[in-house]
Structure 1
Amino acid sequence: MRTFEVRPGHVPYLPGLTLPGAVVTRFLALVQVTGDADAAQRLMSGIVIFHDVTGFLPRTARRTPSDYAGTLRSQLDALGDSRLVVTELLCDGDHVFVRWRRHGRHRGPINGHPPTGLPLTEMGSTTFRVAEGRIVEVWLQDDRAGLAAQLERNRTVAQVAMEQLSPLTAA
């Protein structure tokens, strides 16, 4: 097991890491926690095949590094100052498996839920395929049901708090 917190711009040294593993750890530190489009261009192929295997109907999409970075920046904005923790990183040939948790605060809209400022934890795993030193394919699995439950709980907590404050602000 290789557990570590991903810090923006800090590529961790992990002894015995394969070349694909090194590409992915660079990607995590330079793109995944920052949304840096230039770093995405350097570490991803011109078109990356993304398999979203979480949903009821799994889907596959072709994405450019700049598309990916833009979507990622929106997600990072919604979670405020978040922390990404890798709880498992395994390499096998050209594939790299990463199990992760992202902790943040709900600072922007997510799936129609307005920001509450309350904590959120997103969990999942991603498998990357690396060819010629660049990420060419990604399989994403994340706990959408768990995130939806947290968003609903936070909405309820925020609503109750507002109702409790209403009589105080009316006086």
Structure 2
Amino acid sequence: MDQAKRIVTDFFEDVRSGKNLSAAYEFMHERVIAHQVQSENEYTIERSPKDYIAHVKEMQELYGEFQLEIQEIVADENKVYVRWKQIGHTAAGKQVIQIASAVYLVAQGKISEYWIQIDRKGLELQSN
């Protein structure tokens, strides 16, 4: 497996899964550009490893200790495409499934930028 694909795979298995949040510092540059789409509105934010850890903790608070499964991962040099399925539960015990995909740019051995799309409306409908 090439280096970029291994970095992103390990990032998902350790950090995005919530299993080893402190590893965010190993896999992410101090400043990561995150391109996001929400309700067809594209916007960009910056995330640090600390911000990303808080983001995953927020998901854990909303959906408990969720399961994360990489459904597809494809690498082309320093860009890695990942599609995943996340299954969690609301406080009332209702199952919530998130399907999302992103392209990660790996530079100098760490994630430096990503482009992500998530079905947020689907999450909203399931959470109600």
Determine if the TM-score, normalized by the shorter chain, exceeds 0.5. yes
- Matched with 2:106 is 130
Which one-letter code corresponds to 1:99 in the other structure?
R
Q: Secondary structure at the match of 1:53?
A: strand
- Matched with 2:5 is 21
- Matched with 2:79 is 95
- Matched with 1:163 is none
How much has 1:147 moved relative to structure 2? 1.0
Q: Secondary structure at the match of 1:100?
A: strand
The number of residue pairs the alignment matches comes to 128
Larger radius of gyration: 1
Deviates more, 1:71-80 or 1:83-92: 71-80
Which one-letter code corresponds to 2:4 in the other structure?
P
The answer to whether 1:149 aligns with 2:125 is yes
How much has 1:36 moved relative to structure 2? 4.0
**For 1:1-171, what aligned pairs fall within 5 Å after superposition?**
17-34=1-18, 36-107=20-91, 116-152=92-128
| Distance change (3 Å), C-alpha of 1:97 and 1:20 | same
Taking only the aligned residue pairs, the percentage that are identical comes to 30
- 1:45 and 1:65 in contact (8 A); partners too: yes
Structure 1: 4+ residue segments shifted above 4 A: none
RMSD: 1.3
Q: Which runs of 5+ in 2 are unaligned?
A: none
Which one-letter code corresponds to 1:29 in the other structure?
E
Deviates more, 1:54-63 or 1:89-98: 54-63
Which one-letter code corresponds to 1:95 in the other structure?
K
- 2:101 and 2:117 in contact (8 A); partners too: yes
- 2:17 and 2:68 in contact (8 A); partners too: yes
- 1:36 and 1:69 in contact (8 A); partners too: no
